[in-house]
Structure 1
Amino acid sequence: MIHADVSARPAVPGDEEAIAQIQLASWRASLGAAIEDLAADQMRAQWSTAIAQPPSREHRVFVACDGPHVVGFAALTPTEILALEVAPDHRRVGHGSRLLAACIDTIRAQGRSEVRAWTLEADDARRTFLSSAGLAEGGVRRTLEGPAGDLVEVMYRASLA
């Protein structure tokens, strides 16, 4: 039996191109044409900095790979999973779970006892994913300014104790 070479690993310089493309594709899928004005070059530069010069030792960027191809990413701050995206054509095959596991393992190794993540209130697929992974709504909502108006996010959390 042949098994696909799939993994999650820390991001390295050079991954920023794929990360920016995945982020844009994911946002396009959930936000539509409103994101077309976002500058891909600026996103690449921001991801390059996040990978090469993170704000602290606790900030991390991970990528999910399918063979040699980066197909997803996660960004972790000292207090929460800031982003977790998988390319739309690579979803539902375990990449998101591998990225979430990498984040949780890192949070535990840093001595923290809780994981938090945010999702758009209207993103039923992500809410189902987080719930199935053992996270529950944390009772907090926030409103962010989006490219086509306000976006409401819901916080999910789980104890790691």
Structure 2
Amino acid sequence: MSHSHGPGGGPSADVSVRVAWADDAAAIAEVQLRAWPVLYAGLLPAEVLPTDVAAVAAQWREVLARPADARNRVLVALERNRVVGFALTSAAADPDCDPVADGELSELTLDPTERGKGHGSRLLQAAVDTLSADRFTRAVSWVNAADDALRTFLTDAGWAPDTAHRELDLDGTGSTTVKQVRLHTAIG
């Protein structure tokens, strides 16, 4: 990876995005476990969230080693060699979507301590580029209705609500649900 220097030859940023390797599983799991308490604050009690990095890493290793579909991709944002965020892209699974034309950004997660450094923008750009390379012409993403930060981030990047919405059952009992809205953007 080339190092970028700012005006006046400032310090190099040493930031990049690449496709995840199986060896990234533990680092991705750590980011996810750090992000979940922030993402689900006020929705789920902390004690129900997974805390076992090894168990989550094992699931990621499986996903990375044997994707269910050739277009299921995992991207990681790096600062030097440290994973600071990840994104997942795939064919859109919603019944009203076209699995050939519509790709989905199913997750864009940053380490909560690494926000505001441009990693999210780089990840989003890489995810859209990846969806475009996979020949999708539209991208969709489900966002928690209360997640103003992510919704604003995507709308600032040119995404817009497409009127689809759903309610997710977070704990399987129907007592903890989260409303989500779907955003979309033309790509390619």
State the TM-score, normalizing by the size of structure 2: 0.80
What's the CA shift for 1:107?
Answer: 1.1
From 34, 38, 49, the equivalent of 2:49 is 38
The 5 Å alignment of 1:45-60 reads: 45-60=58-73
Alignment of 1:9-158 (within 5 A): 9-32=18-41, 34-39=45-50, 40=52, 41-79=54-92, 80-147=104-171, 149-158=176-185
Distance across 1 between alignment mates of 2:18 and 2:68: 19
Equivalent residue for 2:13? 4
- The one-letter code sitting in structure 1 at the alignment partner of 2:179 is V
Structure number with higher helix proportion:
1
| SS of residue in 2 equivalent to 1:77 | strand
Flag structure 2 segments of 5+ consecutive residues without an equivalent.
1-9, 93-103
Structure label with greater radius of gyration = 2
Whichever residue aligns with residue 131 of structure 1, its letter is T
5+ long unaligned stretches in structure 1: none
Aligned letter for 1:84? L
Residue by residue over 1:72-127, the C-alpha shift from the partner in whole angstroms, topping out at 9 and shown as x without a partner, is 00011122011100101111111111111111111111211101111110000001
TM-score of the aligned structures, taking structure 1 as reference length: 0.93
Aligned-residue CA RMSD (Å): 1.5
Is the Cα–Cα contact under 8 Å of residues 144 and 180 in structure 2 kept in the other structure? yes
